[in-house]
Structure 1
């Protein structure tokens, strides 16, 4: 049996609305966190969690590293051995008369049998360029007004809906703009100003919530949430209504969290 006294834990403290307490606990536990303390306030609840830090097994890590180095060295030697016959062939090739093209020149002007005729190449290229795949940047800023898919997920009743996953995958790297409010703020152990911020679309409500749970991970609100100079935010709080502009990063199917990278945040 392992000695629990030697187990190291990472701790997190999360502040959320009381009506979101049970769903928040379920999500954290699904992600491997253990609930250690619950402190209920009038409207908010503070939850304390911990998660074991997995130690590095040196008996496995060191042999694996040695095996990787050996594999790379073997691959390098094999590559050199494969290249040598061509070099020897080029050195041993007899010199021909000056009027006869050299073997290298002959290869340069002789197409393999498998190569498509030159006349077909321009048409294939023109077909490929006629239907370019739009990049996220070419779509502009995605809002509920100009993108029906975004409008649909903002009104989803389940934060784990597959529609949210499909949207995040389709528009990965794009920029979204929406009204939302802060659901909870997770303070990270060992940091005074760095937090995780959980956001819901729409306006603050104690009784209802819809759409995805958006998450800004490990941000400094006064700096990396990018409030404008004429509207600086010294602090943020649960229930605060804001307007967010952010880059789409990913959707985690296990925790049902939609990760965003903040670009601009404004009061409203």
Structure 2
């Protein structure tokens, strides 16, 4: 059918926990998620988007220019009659028709997974997750990495309504699996967010969340409040563990 939509497809392999970040970036570029396969360490994401129509007018103009160029070169060769000119004309024609080699370049989605800071690829972040909530390591890390993305396994230490809102909350998060009994690590905080802002992912997405629930948190680094010893983050994705 003439009106049938044709799609181009792209497959992206993402480090576990970065799915939400990559899906968000791809959607901004016009891609639609069609399949998500969870692996042990990586997820395979398949996207598609409608193919752009070929600019036939531009292609026709380019072909016309090449034809005219070939005629001009042929005429110049006939007038000169020199073998050297013929060889030069052949090289010129080859240069015009030669296509540049296709060198794959990393996309924003491909680079997103490598930009996420984890305890495994950043020793400072690994030490931070074991430091006291008021330790200078909190301020140092927030200053150097504000606006960057981190990922860690953690749990909800505390969950409370934000002000008078019934569906917006303040979440206190801690590294590890101990929930309200977390004794070490920064006091990470999501402030004034609803459940949808968490961007829950995973095989079994819960309808609600609460204290003690364990997740793989992917978040953007915010500021550290030294007076309250609170390290602010903004949620990117939250994978059920």
Give the TM-score taking structure 2 as reference length: 0.51
Query: 1:158-182: CA deviations, max 9, x gaps?
Result: 2100111100100010000000010
Pairwise mapping of residues 52-67 of structure 1 onto structure 2 (< 5 A)?
Answer: none
Look up the match of 2:116.
Answer: 141
Look up the match of 1:118.
Answer: none
Look up the match of 1:184.
Answer: 158
Q: CA separation in 1, counterparts of 2:166 and 2:204?
A: 22
> Which of 152, 170, 173 is matched with 1:196 structurally?
170
Pairwise mapping of residues 107-118 of structure 1 onto structure 2 (< 5 A)?
Answer: none
In the alignment of these two chains, the number of paired residues is: 131
* Paired residues of 1:180 and 1:244 also in contact (CA < 8 A): yes
> Which of 112, 122, 126 is matched with 1:151 structurally?
126
Look up the match of 1:76.
Answer: none
Query: 1:208-256: CA deviations, max 9, x gaps?
Result: 52110100010112x1000127543321111111110000011000111
Look up the match of 1:250.
Answer: 223
- Cα distance, 1:145–1:205 mapped onto 2, change above 3 Å: same
* Paired residues of 1:180 and 1:243 also in contact (CA < 8 A): yes
Look up the match of 2:201.
Answer: 228
Pairwise mapping of residues 1-268 of structure 1 onto structure 2 (< 5 A)?
Answer: 140-156=115-131, 158-204=132-178, 207-221=181-195, 223-228=196-201, 231-268=204-241
* Paired residues of 1:244 and 1:264 also in contact (CA < 8 A): yes
Q: CA separation in 1, counterparts of 2:117 and 2:225?
A: 20
Q: CA separation in 2, counterparts of 1:197 and 1:184?
A: 6
* Paired residues of 2:157 and 2:179 also in contact (CA < 8 A): no
RMSD: 2.1
Q: Which segments of 5 or more consecutive residues in structure 2 lack a partner in the other structure?
A: 1-111
Q: CA separation in 1, counterparts of 2:152 and 2:146?
A: 17
The DSSP-based 3-state class of the residue aligned with 2:201 is coil
Q: Which segments of 5 or more consecutive residues in structure 1 lack a partner in the other structure?
A: 1-136
Q: CA separation in 2, counterparts of 1:207 and 1:226?
A: 25
* Paired residues of 1:231 and 1:266 also in contact (CA < 8 A): no
Question: Could you tell me how far 1:190 is from its partner in structure 2?
Answer: 2.6
Structure with larger Rg: 1
The DSSP-based 3-state class of the residue aligned with 1:168 is helix
Question: Could you tell me how far 1:191 is from its partner in structure 2?
Answer: 1.3
Give the TM-score taking structure 1 as reference length: 0.46
Runs of 4+ in 1 over 6 A off after TM superposition: none
* Paired residues of 2:204 and 2:240 also in contact (CA < 8 A): yes
